[in-house]
Structure 1
Amino acid sequence: MAGRPSTDHLQHRQGARLAAQLRSLREHKGLSRMQLAEAAGISPRTLERIETAATTAPGLFTVAALAGPLGVSLDDLVAGASTAGTPGIVSAGYEGRSIEDFVQALAGSGVRTVADVRLNAISRKKGFSKSRLTAALAEAGIGYRHLPALGNPKDNRPPFWEGRPAEGREVFRRLLAHDPAPDALEELFTLAARQSVAVLCFEQDEERCHRKVICDIARTDHGLDVGALPM
């Protein structure tokens, strides 16, 4: 049926989520890939293929063997790979993160789409400019949308840099009433009502970022769940 994702596409997304979940759990346990493979009784090459999503349909017994050393149940692993997070907004700043850590945190939180609210989707930080970020997210089965209409203009950035964020937020809130921002907000909130969407900008602390205004509107005006990306 038109508009439905293919079985291959769904399998790829599930495999990518499982890969990110396994990497995150393994690193949290402080295990190397070799150590986890040995504990699970599988080859390091097999684990590498699963963790890099080179294989999107690992055998059930292989996944079960990995669950034990990672301290989770098979049901937890399967559920994490098969379903995305609950609909709503995840406030996500990439300050202080590597692209690998950032993408793993998104996948572990069940994020299905990243909405980039930077005015210009470029960054001096490796991996966070538009093309490379899109590619890294795609490998984890996460979509990307750039919404420059929700970016903070350059002349409203000094208040955030100079410790006057409330002033900057008030200016930005007024700007959101003018085209093309309302259409971009509608696009974002409609998507977030169906799936988990990360609102991305640089600052780790939402209080120092214009995205707080977007998150506040999502929560108070649209009744959407809003959370923060775990560190």
Structure 2
Amino acid sequence: MFIMKRENSAVRVATIGFAGKSAQSFFDLLKGAQVRTVLDIRLNNTSQLAGFAKKQDLPYFLDKLCNAAYVEMPELAPEPDLLKRYQGKELAWDDFTAEYIELIAKRRVESKLDVDLFRSACLLCSEHLPHHCHRRLAVEYLNSQWNSRMTINHLS
């Protein structure tokens, strides 16, 4: 009998931002990528600006439209002051990146989170594209700490 060891297999993970997307586009991207769990790493996930992606509504939509689960993951969210300084243009992107990586390293997220939770998962944030978003930084950091076990797909 053949048994595949899950811990040695590649972990397929995606990232997505809801800004600039219609609900149809957002949920179609998740379905197309066969996402089974959305990992919400936003600091502000209850705002009216989140629209269809509000924490209160998203679990229902994910279940009904994508047969996917919702997990809030605040350990990968930036600190409020860090985000405020970046959004207020007090911090350049490179400085935000350094402080954010230092923050999640100090939190020791790589030892507190189970890599299997990321299997067929998608990190959610608000930024439309991943280039200047902490979701890209988070997944790249974890991948480096977990010996490149993840294949990453940025949905846009």
Q: Under TM normalisation by the shorter chain, which class is it?
A: 0.7 to 0.9
- How far off its partner does 1:228 sit? 0.9
Aligned-residue identity in percent: 23
User: Take 1:137 and 1:129, find their aligned partners in 2: how far apart are those partners?
Assistant: 12
Higher RCO, Cα 8 Å, sep 6+: 2
Deviation per CA, 1:149-185: give whole Å up to 9, x if none. 211112112335637211101101111133474555x
Q: In structure 1, what is the equivalent of residue 97 of structure 2? A: 169
2:138 to 196, 206, 214: 214
Q: In structure 1, what is the equivalent of residue 12 of structure 2? A: 88
Letter in 2 for 1:221: Q
1:97 to 21, 32, 53: 21
What TM-score do the two structures reach when normalised by structure 2? 0.79
User: Take 2:93 and 2:101, find their aligned partners in 1: how far apart are those partners?
Assistant: 12
Higher helix proportion: 1
- How far off its partner does 1:110 sit? 0.8
- How far off its partner does 1:220 sit? 2.5
Q: Is 1:130 the equivalent of 2:58?
A: no
- How far off its partner does 1:128 sit? 1.1
User: Take 1:111 and 1:175, find their aligned partners in 2: how far apart are those partners?
Assistant: 27
What TM-score do the two structures reach when normalised by structure 1? 0.55
Q: In structure 2, what is the equivalent of residue 159 of structure 1? A: 86
Q: Which runs of 5+ in 2 are unaligned?
A: 1-9
Letter in 1 for 2:79: P
1:1-231 alignment runs, 5 A limit: 87-123=11-47, 124-139=49-64, 140-157=66-83, 158-159=85-86, 162=89, 164-179=92-107, 181-182=109-110, 184=112, 186-187=113-114, 189-192=115-118, 195-222=119-146, 223=148, 224-229=150-155, 231=156
3-state SS in 1 of match to 2:51:
coil
**Is the CA contact 2:14–2:120 (under 8 Å) kept in the aligned structure 1?**
yes
- How far off its partner does 1:118 sit? 0.8
- How far off its partner does 1:95 sit? 1.1
User: Take 1:181 and 1:161, find their aligned partners in 2: how far apart are those partners?
Assistant: 27
User: Take 1:218 and 1:89, find their aligned partners in 2: how far apart are those partners?
Assistant: 11
Q: 1:203 to 1:127 in 2, by over 3 A?
A: same
3-state SS in 2 of match to 1:106:
helix
Q: Which runs of 5+ in 1 are unaligned?
A: 1-85
Letter in 2 for 1:137: L
The number of equivalent residue pairs is 141
**Is the CA contact 1:121–1:146 (under 8 Å) kept in the aligned structure 2?**
no
Q: 1:115 to 1:102 in 2, by over 3 A?
A: same
- How far off its partner does 1:218 sit? 3.2
User: Take 1:125 and 1:177, find their aligned partners in 2: how far apart are those partners?
Assistant: 28
